[in-house]
Amino acid sequence: MDSFSPVVPDRPARIMIYSHDTFGLGHIRRARTIAMALAEDMPGSSILIVTGSPIVGRFDFPDGVDFVRVPGVVKLPSGDYVSHNMNLDIAETVALREGIILTTAENFAPDLLIVDKEPTGFRGEMLSTLALLRTLGTRIVLGVRDVLDEAETLAVEWERKNAVEAIETLYDEFWVYGLEHIYAPLQGLPISADALSRARYTGYLRREPADWPQPPIPDDRPEDFVLITPGGGGDGEALIDWVLDAYEADSRLNIPAVIVFGPFMNTEKRQLFERRAHRFRNIETISFDSRLERLMIEAGGVIAMGGYNTFCEILSFDKPAAISPRISPRKEQFIRAEAAERFGLVNMLPPASGGDSPRDPGVMAQAIRNLRTQPPPSEALIPGLLDGLDRVVEFAREALGVKAS
């Protein structure tokens, strides 16, 4: 790799963010958060998110930020991928996505490209774009969350995807959206010391409440409720089921709860959960809220699965939380929850599904009660914990050759 040197454009900066988004909310929400921070810091810049998220249009974006949506793909229970809406096979869909991404990059000509998590993109769709932008002098960064997966599992995956070669030859830097002493996601992987030296830790990405006008808060919503959130909801059925089991099994559990199912929860399952929840006057259900930050701020505590974005919101809004992590197909959430509990940031619950023992409604009921007295994350006093967006802006300015204002 050549040494990293800044781009100094003679026009307002152009930044492209790639987010493959085959499933869930995590990638597009992280891309949006970063884009908004960069737009606020660099007025006049143009930031373009290229994403496969089917719900990207349901989010608000500020001036200077827009998106291009490539055809979506979904993962089947068998592990195979198919086109989300189009009558194309997966190879045709990937070829179409690759062409759109390449044409977008060629015409937009970004000064900085931030690739989210997947070094080669979905099924290698970013390789042609990465090669093009290297010739144009674009600064290319891989941004990864605090935890990817177990090192052994990730090493096999990256070898299969030719990600190691891409890491070594195509990227100027790696931004890790976490703290190294909490978890180092690139350690233990078969990459060179030179590549590891290009990793820069940012801290977690702080979330702020949106500036846009908010819908009114329902008059009948109790104060100090517990927020139940399984993120996108596509794999959150077991958590919701466990929470409802707790309320059904413990007649003295009278703490108000707001359940947000997420946009990807199975419709029939959601309707079943709604019928169960509506038997309780103190449980409110919501299908999806693109401004989940407001609910998090209002809540007295949180029960969640522990995806990266939810974890950042728990830290940002300083909420006592109990995490029941997913353990399949990745151990990411389990590793994050285990580390966070070790540092006193959250309470960790057993996995809601796939664990070694059956779920105990009493364990969930007690976890909900404990939120009333559990210390908030801020009491852990970890320096730099939520400096992520400040560091991302700082690193982006360095890459673009922009002087600090």
Report the alpha-carbon angle 297-303-307, nearest 5: 90
Q: Compute the distance between CA of residue 390 and CA of residue 31 in angstroms, rounded to an integer.
A: 15
Distance of CA 329 to the CA centre of its chain: 16
Q: Is 183 in the same domain as 230? A: no
Separation of alpha carbons 296 and 316, rounded Å? 10
Q: How many domains does the chain have?
A: 2
Whether 217 is in a domain gets the answer no
Partner residues linked to 199 by β-bridges: 174
| Residue pair 267/261 in contact by the 8 Å Cβ criterion | no
In a domain, 77, yes or no: yes
**Which of 233, 231, 262, 238 shows the shortest CA–CA distance to 354?**
238
* Per-residue buried b or exposed e for 107-123, using 16+ beta carbons within 10 Å of the residue's own CB: ebebbbbbbbbbbbbbb
Are 160 and 299 members of one domain? no
- DSSP code for 270: H
CB atoms within 10 A of CB 211: 10
**Helices 237-249 and 267-277: crossing angle, nearest 10°?**
20
The domain that holds 116 is classified in CATH as: 3.40.50.2000
Q: Please provide the average confidence, as pLDDT, over all residues in the chain.
A: 90
Is residue 91 included in any domain, yes or no? yes
* 197 exposure class (CB count in 10 Å sphere: 0-12, 13-18, 19+): exposed
Asked whether residue 191 is assigned to any structural domain, the reply reads yes
Is 210 part of a structural domain of the chain? no
- Same domain, yes or no: 151 and 297: no
**252 with 187, same domain?**
no
What's the CA angle centered on 363, arms 362 and 368, to 5 degrees?
A: 95
**Does 58 map to a domain?**
yes
Q: Is 259 contained in some domain?
A: yes
What domain range is 331 assigned to? 226-380
Spatial contact of 36 and 62, defined as CB atoms under 8 Å apart: yes
Residues 28 and 65 reside in one and the same domain = yes
**Model-wide pTM > 0.95:** no
pLDDT in 10s for each residue of the chain, 405 residues: 655 667 666 789 999 999 987 666 678 889 999 999 999 999 999 999 999 988 888 888 999 999 999 999 887 666 678 888 888 999 999 999 999 999 999 999 999 999 999 999 999 999 999 999 999 999 999 999 999 999 899 999 999 999 999 999 999 999 999 999 999 999 889 999 999 999 999 999 999 876 655 556 666 677 789 999 988 777 889 999 999 999 999 999 999 999 999 888 889 999 999 999 999 999 999 988 767 788 899 999 999 998 998 999 999 999 999 999 988 888 999 999 999 999 999 999 999 887 666 789 999 999 999 999 999 999 999 999 999 999 999 999 999 997 544
The token pair at 181 is: 């002493």
Q: Is 27 strand, coil or helix? A: helix
Same domain, 180 and 307: no
Beta strand residue intervals within 274-344, DSSP E: 283-286, 301-304, 321-323
Alpha carbons 395 and 371: distance in angstroms, whole number: 37
Instruction: Please answer whether residues 304 and 231 qualify as being in contact, where contact means their C-beta atoms are separated by less than 8 angstroms.
Output: yes
| 58 lies in the same domain as 191 | yes
Whole-angstrom distance, CA of residue 97 vs CA of residue 105: 12
The answer to whether residue 338 sits within a structural domain is yes
169 and 298 together in one domain:
no
pLDDT per residue over 60-95, tens digit each?
Answer: 899 999 999 999 988 766 667 888 888 899 999 999
Cβ–Cβ under 8 Å, residues 302 and 320: yes
Query: What tokens does 201 get?
Result: 């830790």
Q: Give 69's strand partners.
A: 51
Residue-wise pLDDT tens digits, 274-319: 999 999 999 999 988 767 788 899 999 999 998 998 999 999 999 9
72 with 185, same domain?
A: yes
DSSP 392: H
Together in a domain, 57 and 193: yes
Q: Is 231 found in the same domain as 142?
A: no
Give how far Cα 259 sits from Cα of 160, 287, 308, 313, Å.
Answer: 39, 8, 19, 16
DSSP state of 373: T
Same domain, 112 and 176: yes
CA dist 269 and 266 (Å) reads 5
Taking the C-alpha atoms of 214, 202, 171 and 111 in order, what is their torsion angle to the nearest 10 degrees? Answer: 50
316's tokens: 């940002």
